[in-house]
Amino acid sequence: MIDWLIVGAGLYGATFARELTDAGQSCLVIDRREYIGGNCADEMICGVRVQRHGGHIFHTNDKSTWEYVNRFADWWHYRHKVKVNYQGRIYSFPINLMTLHQVWGITTPDEARERLQQAGKNGHSLKRWAIAELGEELYYTFIHGYTAKQWGRDPDTLPASIVQRIPIRFTYDDDYFSDTYQGQPVDGYSAMIGEMLRGIPVELGQDFDLSRPNPARHILYTGPLDALFSNEFGTLQYRSLRWEYEQHESDYQGCATMNYTDADVPYTRIIEYRHFMQNPPRNTVIAKEFPMEWHPGREMYYPVNDEPNNRRANLYAAQAKRLGIETGGRLADYRYYDMHQAVAAARKHAERVLNG
């Protein structure tokens, strides 16, 4: 009998498997998909490395996490750039001095602070908080339409926490992330995760079922807990996504991501994958990203972390704990993880089980 059955060959499962294997434990990794990498997985289309589940950029302030992923891939110094298309005009984003100059003609940090401080700070909904922080013009230009499309709900009914992590900069810095360590793996995330899983048995196209015989002493489950327990406490809700791909002969938009914030444009952004590559070909592949309501059979991307869903998720987590099943990752934890957070959480999880 092996020591660990790890359900899920994404970033969390691969990190956990690597740590346990290096500590002398025997592991088997299975995944319901026919490829490794989870939502980080990529593939080559006409010479362009396309990330199958939307754009992924690794960024972290944690040196240990950065050094860890550098064990499994060579990285290049990619800095993510995002622009906003609103009513046919292009704006710098995240909101910075150039953005405020484009909207209001502002040229100095003091002017920017004074203009933004004219609004009061009140309200806990996303819409009220954002208007209080930014004013109505910036809110409707950059936030309202995009958020309504992304979540399929009126922004006045959403928590402010969704947008509170979007920075406002009083400089001309338009890097999307401000983390110390940022980059893209030269050969992509699938290759990186393949290196993490080197020497570890992996079976693809294999779903996990509690009713089947278990070949391991311990289980780490990274999938959706409601499915594991046959929706005993109700179905957990998510938002889903789909992409429409196009090929073009040359650079399409001049940046990796263009957000479309008009409410009447059905997609939220266009991702141009050649910009994620260190040495891209001349041709390009773009993906228009469309948010969708989730229902069984569609991919689960963003958990709807309202009170009823979080309560259900806690019931499922308690059930797994009672059965001695370890859980972790974006789906099993029912929370959104950036990639660096998934790696760090999996390493801590592995350390915890190894130390008993």
Same domain, 131 and 214: no
Residues involved in catalysis: 165, 169, 239, 269, 289, 336, 338
Among 258, 344, 253, 195, CA closest to 55: 258
Q: Which residues pair with 287 in a beta bridge?
A: 245, 271
Same domain, 98 and 157: yes
Q: Is residue 70 part of a domain?
A: yes
Domain span holding position 129: 82-162
Among 349, 30, 31, 28, CA closest to 217: 28
Q: Is residue 288 part of a domain?
A: no
User: How many folded domains does the chain comprise?
Assistant: 2
Same domain, 13 and 36: yes
Same domain, 69 and 92: no
Q: Is residue 174 part of a domain?
A: no
Same domain, 126 and 89: yes
Among 305, 293, 304, CA closest to 242: 293
Q: Which residues pair with 83 in a beta bridge?
A: 92, 258
For residue 155 the two structure tokens come to: 């922004």
Angstrom distance (rounded) from CA 24 to CA 182: 31
Q: Is residue 271 part of a domain?
A: no
Listed in sequence order, the residues at least 6 apart from 152 whose beta carbon sits closer than 8 Å to its beta carbon are: 239, 291, 293
Counting every residue written for the chain, the total comes to 356
Angstrom distance (rounded) from CA 93 to CA 248: 25
Same domain, 19 and 154: no
Q: What are phi and psi of 347, to 5 degrees?
A: -65, -45
Q: How confident is the model at residue 122 (pLDDT cuts 50, 70, 90)?
A: low
Question: Is 60 exceeded by the pLDDT of residue 120?
Answer: no
Residue 162's pLDDT is: 84
Q: What is the rounded average pLDDT for all residues in the chain?
A: 95
Dihedral sign for Cα 206, 210, 213, 218, please: positive
Q: Is residue 149 part of a domain?
A: yes
Domain with 131 in it: what CATH number? 1.10.3110
Same domain, 88 and 143: yes
Q: Is residue 24 part of a domain?
A: yes
Same domain, 91 and 137: yes
Q: Is residue 53 part of a domain?
A: no
Domain with 339 in it: what CATH number? 3.40.50.720
Residue 123's pLDDT is: 54
Same domain, 322 and 222: yes
Q: Is residue 267 part of a domain?
A: no
Task: Give the tens place of pLDDT for each residue, 198-247.
Answer: 999 999 999 999 888 888 999 999 999 999 999 999 999 999 999 999 99
Same domain, 106 and 17: no
Report the amino acid identity of residue 271: I
Contacts of range 95-100, beta carbons closer than 8 Å, 24 or more positions apart: 95/134, 95/138, 95/142, 95/166, 95/167, 95/168, 95/169, 96/168, 96/169, 96/170, 96/171, 96/172, 96/173, 96/174, 97/169, 97/170, 97/171, 97/172, 98/172, 98/174, 99/138, 99/142
Report, as an integer, the average pLDDT of 19-39. 98
Same domain, 309 and 197: yes
Report, as an integer, the average pLDDT of 254-279. 98
Same domain, 223 and 319: yes
* 321: enclosing H helix or E strand: helix 307-322
